[in-house]
């Protein structure tokens, strides 16, 4: 049977790529209200794809962007897998800095370049194309499949939680598969078992009711940019520890077993630094780079702005300045609790001659998958077969807010199997997805779906 | 004779205002290369005005924006005044935050709102309209007048220095009058005798060769925004002193006499704070607000940017971040020396795991006018006559780079007589010029020009 599938995939490579490119052309940036219609278009494109394969599809409206639901029911004796993904993409940043327009996908050097290529359109589409191959070659599927593809992952999935709670029965399944992560190295099948949580705030420092001439006012007024800088500088100590009181209260130390396992992971600090042209890899003292990224909480400023940002010199003292600050969380750290502590600390250290406004932008809980679950074991077996290589079990510093909800609401295990690479530029410029990884993902997905027949 | 002038001004108020509004419509933003033609248009508008009054005019090209030169020669026995001003304006900042488009001048509540209304189009135009009144009512002028109106003041007058040096003979005069400053309080004739210098740099902190996903990289890489914030936070100590080694070497302490004089200036710290809604007036310890603004060196970040600045949350770690930083200088501080010291200090404190690039954007020397000069005395006398009020002798934290060049190249005294107000929003949003101040400036200029006949 698998030969037929392999042949089918080989014969349909070009079309399966073209169809992904059509999806990548749609600028479905969920954070930007101007793209509302594009989100709908992307959702409908996926609906049409699944409908054509015989899926029962629904486009479910939410307060934000709609959710794609699709089901292929074979029979009640078979297990049911729910495949989750998202059709929304990150904002593109300064468009002029892309080598190629982000929504005009182009293939260069066996890689497809476009916003969303890897995160997550390419990865979710690979599952759809795998399902296509199975249906076209066998006229059925080895198990019941549900697709749940949302349009708000990049803005923290605000409407998916309530939706899961409300549609528990409709979404009932034996396990959830998510491909929205990366392989630890090229051609290395990877199951991610630990996700960080996230606490993301926006901070505004206001000093005056208008911008001021630095000649007329300089020396007599607080400068909100200098004050914001002072606040940010106080968020870490000299050892790279986060200074927010109580920040580490719910952090569990990395176990000796896990530390040992991390050492076996094909991760090289030097290569890591070289690939992105770093001059050093500073961070929390006492931990390796991989430990810090995977299993220690972090705090980063994601954006800052204030005053004159144009060319040349303008002698202005800004009325206000602002920053976006986020913490990646681990263990039992709760995003709401950390957000509260972070905001309180900032308010405490801010001088009383400025006004500080802090807003909670979004949060995500941490998540871990048990490595000995049937779901993980079967998926790993299929991956090893497909890649003919041992699976690496990895953690990540990333967050997929909804993983936690799946575990809690549906009471099932979630398996994260990623086909992207860390250097795909997922939240950066020139995002890409290696064609090999796209085709490998399709192939591996067919293996996984077959293997899950044994669930 | 002055009755005729007064009548003329009264009868021509509306037209003299409309003509200023035409000039204010031209978006002559010198820092932005896209406005090159607008600069030329503004220069030509002024040329036409002066030509119509019988001035011999020239539009002198420079490497940047052209210089307007105009001369009205009466006879050799009369003294010659050179009136300097600039037709270029500051950038407007976020246009959406203006109550009214910056280049569509509108009169609200007896104030004219437009970019450049006060700085400096309104003030230089007042002199032109004063000259018009004198010529139209007397068919001549009480002295020889030269106008020198440049288009690069807001970018540090890069081409005016060489021009002055080269055209010493053509620009020969007995004194220079500049109206590009403010009155210390409404309806208070003010001569500014001390200007601060300026050292302005741009700073870029680079950590990686591209933006990174904070989930995949956070904890393992330097964050250029956090690092930039740390650098900025180290530029002042807890007492508000600037920490750059050698920064205060050439600063002369404010004398007891000057401190006493400052105390008599109609400046109220509480009113100052209230007018711009400050919650406090922090700064260098041991000095009053006025002392700090007028006579102590300062350091302010004028702009900062890095990472995601759009709406919502983006979990990115920026590749780089940048800031514009300037120091206002006093006494014998030299802009080149301070720039060098500032850049060296920043390079010293920056961690070695980021790349720091610092660029010298521009500088201006400090300047002082002797209070007992004939030029200052005659101008003060005319002002007191025109306003029927004692003149206040003020300093300012602002810089007019070219004042120093006038003193050095032409060997004459420079008198700064300002008609704007500090709250005109010169380098900020919603710039305005009170109509009363415009008309008072025209009136006062006719008095000054008459009085200078006695030079």
The CATH number that applies at residue B347 is: 3.30.70.360
Q: Residue A368 has what pLDDT?
A: 86
Mean pLDDT over the full length of chain A: 95
Token output for A424:
């795909």
The answer to the question of residue B372 being in a domain is yes
Rounded to whole angstroms, the Cα distance separating B206 from B225 reads: 9
Task: State yes or no: pLDDT of A2 exceeds 80.
Answer: no
The answer to the question of residue B280 being in a domain is no
The answer to the question of residue B281 being in a domain is no
CA atoms A35, A41, A47, A53: torsion sign: negative
| Helix, strand or coil, per DSSP, at residue A239 | coil
User: Could you say which residues from 326 to 365 on chain A have a Cβ atom under 8 Å away from some Cβ of chain B?
Assistant: 326, 328, 351-355, 361-362
- Going by pLDDT thresholds of 50, 70 and 90, the confidence category of residue A372 is confident
Looking at the complex, report in whole angstroms how far the Cα of residue A72 sits from the nearest Cα belonging to chain B: 34
- Chain B hits for A156, CB-CB cut-off 8 Å, are 313
Rounded to whole angstroms, the Cα distance separating B399 from B403 reads: 9
Backbone angles phi, psi at A207, to 5 degrees: -115, -35
Q: Residue B422 has what pLDDT?
A: 84
Asked which of B327, B343, B364 is the last residue of a domain, the reply is B364
- Chain B hits for A281, CB-CB cut-off 8 Å, are 220-222, 353
CA atoms B179, B185, B190, B192: torsion sign: negative
- Going by pLDDT thresholds of 50, 70 and 90, the confidence category of residue A370 is confident
Asked which of A337, A364, A391 is the last residue of a domain, the reply is A364
Contacts made by residues A261-265, CB under 8 angstroms, sequence distance 24+ = A261/A393, A262/A288, A262/A290, A262/A291, A262/A294, A262/A295, A265/A184, A265/A290, A265/A392, A265/A394
Rounded to whole angstroms, the Cα distance separating A315 from B302 reads: 6
- Going by pLDDT thresholds of 50, 70 and 90, the confidence category of residue B386 is very high
Are residues A213 and A307 located together in one domain of the fold? Answer: yes
Answer whether B226's CB lies under 8 Å from B321's CB: no
Are residues B306 and B421 located together in one domain of the fold? Answer: no
Are residues A165 and A134 located together in one domain of the fold? Answer: yes
- Chain A hits for B90, CB-CB cut-off 8 Å, are 314
Looking at residue A236, the DSSP 8-state letter turns out to be B
Are residues B28 and B67 located together in one domain of the fold? Answer: yes
Answer whether A155's CB lies under 8 Å from A33's CB: no
| Most confidently modeled range among A265-274, A407-416, B233-242 | B233-242
Q: What separation in angstroms does the CA of B302 have from each of A133, A241, A309, A319?
A: 59, 30, 9, 11
Rounded to whole angstroms, the Cα distance separating B21 from B29 reads: 16
Q: Residue A404 has what pLDDT?
A: 87
The answer to the question of residue A321 being in a domain is yes
The answer to the question of residue B32 being in a domain is yes
Least confident of A41-45, A235-239, A254-258: A254-258
Backbone angles phi, psi at A128, to 5 degrees: -65, -40
The answer to the question of residue B179 being in a domain is yes
Are residues B236 and B316 located together in one domain of the fold? Answer: yes
* B298 interface with A at CB cutoff 8 Å: yes
pLDDT digits (tens, 9 = 90+) for A13-69: 999 999 999 999 999 999 999 999 999 999 999 999 999 999 999 999 999 999 999
Q: Residue B370 has what pLDDT?
A: 85
Rounded to whole angstroms, the Cα distance separating A397 from B219 reads: 8
| CB spacing of A211 vs B281 below 8 angstroms | no
pLDDT digits (tens, 9 = 90+) for B349-364: 999 999 999 999 988 8
Are residues A391 and A346 located together in one domain of the fold? Answer: no
User: Could you say which residues from 173 to 212 on chain B have a Cβ atom under 8 Å away from some Cβ of chain A?
Assistant: 182, 196, 198, 200, 202, 207-212
CATH number of the domain that A189 lies in? 3.40.630.10
* B235 interface with A at CB cutoff 8 Å: yes
| CB spacing of A208 vs B156 below 8 angstroms | no
Q: Residue B199 has what pLDDT?
A: 97
The answer to the question of residue B206 being in a domain is yes
Residue with tokens 């400068």: A223
Interface pTM (ipTM) of the complex? 0.81
Looking at the complex, report in whole angstroms how far the Cα of residue A452 sits from the nearest Cα belonging to chain B: 29
Beta-sheet strands, E only, within B254-382: 298-307, 316-317, 320-329, 355-364, 367-368
Are residues B304 and B396 located together in one domain of the fold? Answer: no
Are residues A83 and A123 located together in one domain of the fold? Answer: yes
- Going by pLDDT thresholds of 50, 70 and 90, the confidence category of residue B1 is low
- Going by pLDDT thresholds of 50, 70 and 90, the confidence category of residue A1 is low
DSSP letter for each residue of A405-420: HIIIII--EEEEEE-E
Looking at the complex, report in whole angstroms how far the Cα of residue A384 sits from the nearest Cα belonging to chain B: 24
Q: Residue B266 has what pLDDT?
A: 87
* B318 interface with A at CB cutoff 8 Å: yes
How many domains is chain A built from? 2
Token output for B217:
């990289």
Residue A247 belongs to what domain range? 197-251+297-364
Region A330-334: what's the mean pLDDT? 95
Asked which of B308, B341, B364 is the last residue of a domain, the reply is B364
pLDDT digits (tens, 9 = 90+) for B130-139: 999 999 999 9
Are residues A177 and A207 located together in one domain of the fold? Answer: no
Are residues A358 and A425 located together in one domain of the fold? Answer: no
Are residues A186 and A315 located together in one domain of the fold? Answer: no
The answer to the question of residue A324 being in a domain is yes
Please list, residue by residue across B198-212, b when 16 or more beta carbons sit within 10 angstroms of its beta carbon and e when fewer do.
bbbbbbbbbbbebbb
- Going by pLDDT thresholds of 50, 70 and 90, the confidence category of residue B404 is confident
Region A302-328: what's the mean pLDDT? 95
User: Could you say which residues from 374 to 413 on chain B have a Cβ atom under 8 Å away from some Cβ of chain A?
Assistant: 396-399
Are residues A43 and A172 located together in one domain of the fold? Answer: yes
Task: State yes or no: pLDDT of A339 exceeds 80.
Answer: yes
């Amino acid at each position: 049977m698998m030969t037929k599938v392999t042949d089918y995939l080989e014969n349909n490579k070009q079309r399966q790529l073209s169809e992904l490119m059509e999806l990548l052309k749609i600028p479905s940036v969920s954070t930007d209200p101007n793209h509302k219609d594009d989100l709908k278009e992307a959702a409908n494109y996926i609906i049409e794809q699944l409908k054509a394969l015989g899926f029962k599809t629904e486009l479910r409206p939410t307060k934000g962007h709609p959710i794609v639901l699709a089901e292929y029911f074979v029979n009640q004796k078979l297990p049911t897998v729910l495949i989750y993904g998202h059709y929304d993409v990150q904002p593109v940043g300064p468009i002029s800095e892309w080598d190629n327009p982000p929504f005009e996908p182009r293939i260069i050097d066996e890689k497809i370049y476009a916003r969303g290529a890897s995160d997550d359109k390419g990865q979710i589409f690979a599952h759809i194309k795998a399902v296509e191959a199975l249906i076209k070659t066998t006229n059925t599927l080895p198990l019941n499949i549900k697709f749940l593809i949302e349009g708000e992952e990049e803005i923290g999935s605000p409407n998916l939680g309530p939706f899961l709670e409300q549609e528990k029965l409709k979404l009932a399944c034996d396990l959830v598969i998510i491909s929205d992560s990366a392989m630890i190295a090229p051609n290395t099948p990877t199951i991610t078992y630990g996700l960080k949580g996230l606490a993301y705030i926006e901070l505004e420092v206001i000093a005056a009711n208008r911008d001021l001439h630095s000649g007329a006012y300089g020396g007599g007024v607080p400068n909100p940019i200098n004050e914001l800088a002072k606040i940010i500088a106080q968020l870490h100590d000299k050892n790279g520890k986060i200074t927010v009181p109580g920040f580490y209260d719910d952090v569990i130390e990395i176990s000796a077993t896990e530390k040992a396992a991390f050492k076996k992971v094909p991760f090289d600090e030097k290569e890591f630094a070289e690939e992105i042209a770093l001059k050093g890899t500073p961070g929390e003292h006492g931990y390796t780079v991989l430990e810090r990224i995977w299993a220690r909480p972090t705090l980063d400023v994601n954006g800052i702005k204030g005053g004159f940002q144009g060319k040349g010199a303008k002698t202005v003292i800004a009325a206000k300045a602002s920053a976006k600050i986020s913490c990646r969380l681990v263990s039992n750290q709760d995003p709401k609790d950390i957000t509260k502590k972070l905001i309180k600390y900032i308010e405490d250290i801010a001088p009383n001659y400025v006004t500080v406004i802090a807003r909670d932008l979004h949060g995500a809980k941490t998540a871990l998958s048990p490595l000995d679950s049937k779901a993980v074991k079967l998926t790993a077996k299929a991956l090893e077969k497909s890649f003919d290589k041992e699976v690496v079990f990895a953690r990540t510093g990333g967050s997929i807010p909804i993983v936690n909800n799946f575990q809690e609401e549906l009471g099932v295990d979630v398996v994260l199997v990623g086909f992207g690479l860390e250097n795909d530029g997922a939240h950066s410029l020139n995002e890409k997805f290696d064609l090999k990884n796209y085709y490998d993902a399709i192939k591996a997905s067919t293996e996984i779906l077959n293997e899950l027949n044994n669930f």
